[in-house]
Structure 1
Amino acid sequence: MKTQVGIIGAGPAGLMLSHLLHLEGIESVILECRTREEIESTIRAGVLEQGTVDLMNEAGVGDRMMREGHLHHGIELQYSGIRQRVNMHELTGGKSIMVYPQHEVIKDLVAARLEARGEIIFGVSDVGLHDVETNSPRITFLKDGAEMELACDFIAGCDGYHGPSRQMIPASVRNEKKQIYPFGWLGVLAKTPIANPELIYANHDRGFALISQRTPEIQRHYLQVDPTEDIANWSDDRIWSELKARVETDGWELPDGPIIQKNIVSMRSFVCEPMQYGRLFIAGDAAHIVPPTGAKGLNLAMADVQVLKRGITAFYQSGDMNWLNHYSEVALRRIWKAQRFSYWMTTMLHTNFNHTSFERSVQLSELDYVTSSRAALTSLSENYIGLPFEWEKERSLQI
C-alpha cells in the first residue's frame, strides 16, 4: 500500500488531519487499533474552544454540532459559598465555547471521511514505524492476521500517549516534561435534567467539583478524589451527597438521579519536545497531556493538526519544507500557554490537603482577586475561550 500521509490513530487529531488534507487534495490512510464502534462510543468530555468550533464549521463537519451542542457564553466560579458568573462572551468580544462531547466529534469526522471515500483501517495491531529519518518512511501492521505495509511521504503520529509513534523519536533527542498532581477526578454520567445553564467550577474545603452537561437528559459531573481511590467505595448515594455538599448554595439545589457510569482518573501534565523527527510528526495526546480543568486536550489536538496541515500542504504545493521544519516550534508555543493555563486552573480550584492554612487562604484570595478584577477575568476568559492559533504570529518566527 502507498499513500502520501500515513496517519496512526483515529482520534480527533488523526481524523481532522486526514479530513483537512483531503480538502487540500492530499491523500492519507488512517490506521486505528480499535473498531469504529469502540472509538465512537468511548465517552470523553468535550468543551470546544471558539477556534475549534470555527474549524469544524469551516471544514464542513459542524452541522450536527451546531444543532445538538450547547453554546455557552460563560462559566460560573464558586468558592466560600459564593458563586460568580464569568461573562466570557462580553470579555472576549463575542466569543463562546461549545459543549459537545469528543465522541460526537469523532462520529462526525468518521462519517465525513467515509463519505469522501477516505480510507480508515480499523482493528490493526503490531504497528511499527520504519525509516522515519529518510524520505521514504514506512508503517507495518497486522490486519486480520496478515502482515501489511504502508509506504508514505510523511507519518503523523496521532496515536495517543501509549502509542508507538513518540517512542520513535530517539531518547537522545526526546525531552519529556511532566507534572503529576495529587488529585483525581471521579466522573459520573447521570440521568438528570440539566443542573445549570453553564458549567460550575467549585472550590470547596472538601475538594473541587464540576457541574457540566451532555444532553437534556444525561449530565456529566466530577468530584475531586484521591487518585488512588477505589471506585467501589463510592456508592451512588455517597457521590450525590458529596456533590451536593460541594456545590449547593442557598436557593439552588443539584438535581440527582440514576448514575449510569462512573470512573476515577488521575491527573497529569506532559509535553514531549520536539514533536518531530525526520518525516515523523506527532500530534494530540501523543505529544502532550493536560489536566482536564482547563478543557484544552481536544482543542490542542485540533490546533496541532492545523499547523501540520499547513506544512504538509506547503510541501505538496511548492516543495517548501519551511513550515514542516518549524512545526514543533510553532505548535509548542500554543501548547505551553495551554499548559500554563491548565496548571493555574487546577491549582487554583483544587483543594490540596497538604497545604498549610496560610496556603489555603492564599488560594481563596486568588479566587477573590480573579472574580473581582476585570483584567483577571478577561485573562481567564481569553485563555478558556482559546488563544489565537500561533501561525498568526509567523513574522515573530521569521518563517
Structure 2
Amino acid sequence: MEAKSIYKQFYTKLIIATSLFIITLSFIFYSYTKRTVYENIQKSMLLDAKNIHKSSIAEYTKSQKFQALQSRNTTIDLINNINLKDYKFYIYEKGNNYFIKLLYPFDMKNRKFIEIKRNINFERELLYSIIFKNLFILAIPGFILMLLYSLAVSRSLLKPILQINKKLSNMDENSLTKIDKKDLPIEFHSLANSINSLTNRIETYVKFKKELFIGAAHELKTPLAVMKLKNEVTLRKQRDTEKYEETLKLTIKQIDDMNIMISSILDIGRAEGAQFEQTTELDLVEYMKKKANDYRMLSAQKNIIITFFSNVNFFNTSMQVTLFNQILQNFVQNAIKFTPDNKSISIRLKKTKEKIIITVLDEGIGINEDIDLFAPFKRVGTQSGVGLGLFLAKNAADALRAKISIKNRKDGKSGCIAKLILNNPSNKKEI
C-alpha cells in the first residue's frame, strides 16, 4: 500500500471543502437574487392588478366592457371561466421567451379574472449574464487565492509536526534532546510533554544501564581479584591447615557475595519481563494487609513493630502485582535493614480522587539526599547489600507509570519516607 502524505491529504481536503463552500455559496446567492427579482416583479404586477380592478370595475359594471392593454413587455386582458378562488402567479416558457402571468379576480360571480402577462427575458438575461456568469468569473481568482491559502495553511499547521518529526528522527541513545515547546502551538504541548517525558525515561534508562554494566563488571572483578591473590599467596609455600581453611572460607564468602549480585542482576531481567505481565484484579487494602503480616515475620528478629493504615476499608483495582510487590518489598526490607531494634515501621495507603499514595515510614539512619539512590550499586551506610534494590524498584515504578521517591523525615525524627504514587483509574470502587 502506498504511503500517504498527511500534508497532501490536508491541503487536498481543505481545497475540496473550500471549493464546495464557494460553489454552494454561489448557488445560494444566485437563487436568492433570482427569487428577490421575481418577487419584486410579482409585487409590481399585483399592485397594477389592484389599481386596474379599482379603476375599471365601476365602468365594467355599467357597460360590460374592459379595455385590453398591451405594451412591449406587458399585456393586460380580461378572461373568463377561470376556476380560482384568489389570485395566482405562473412562470412559463413559450417560444424561447419567458413570462410571468398573474390571474387576479375581477368579477368572481361571473368567474372573470384580470390576466397580466409580463415578459421577463431581460431579467433572466440579467441574472445569467451579469450575476451568474460574473459570479463564477469572480470565483476563479477566489479559487486560486483559496488554493494558495490552503497550501500556506497546510504548511503552517504541519510545521510543528514536521519539527517534532525532524527532532525525533535525529535522536538516538547518544543524542537525546528535549523538544522546545516555545515555538509550538499550545495544542502540541501535551504531545511535546509526553515525548520529553519518554526521552527522560530513555535517557535515565540508558544511563543506568551503562552504570549497571560498568558497576557489575567492577563488583565481580574485585572479589575475583581478592580470591586469586589470596589463593596464589596461600599456594606459594606449605602452610598450616588453618591457613588453607581461612583461604577456602574467604573464597566461599566471595562466591556467596557474587551469587547474591548475580541473583540481583537476574532480578533485573525478570523485572523487565514482568513489565508485560497481565494486570490482576485485587483488593489493594486486603493485599497490603497480608503483605504487612508477612513482613512482621522478618521484623520480629529485630523486635521492630510494623503497622498498616489505610483511609479506605476496601479498594478494588487492577494492577501488575509482580511490579508492585517489587517496590513495596524493597521499601519494607530497606526500612527493616536500617531501623534499629525495638523501633517501628509504618506502612500507609492513602486513596485520593486521582492518586493512590503508598508510604513506608521508618525510624532508621536517614539518607544523603544528594546521592541518586536509584542508580545501580548505590549503598547507604555500612549495611551489606548489592545496591540494586532501589534500581529495581525505580524500573518497576516506571513500568507502572508511577512516581517513586525517598526523602528524610521532616517531623524531627531520624528515618526515611519511601513513597510510591500511582494514578487512580476512574472506574475503581471503594467503601
Q: Normalized against structure 1, the TM-score is what?
A: 0.18
- Greater helix share, 1 or 2? 2
Greater relative contact order, per chain length (Cα 8 Å cut-off, separation 6+)? 1
Q: What TM-score results when the alignment is normalised by the length of structure 2?
A: 0.17
Higher strand share: 1
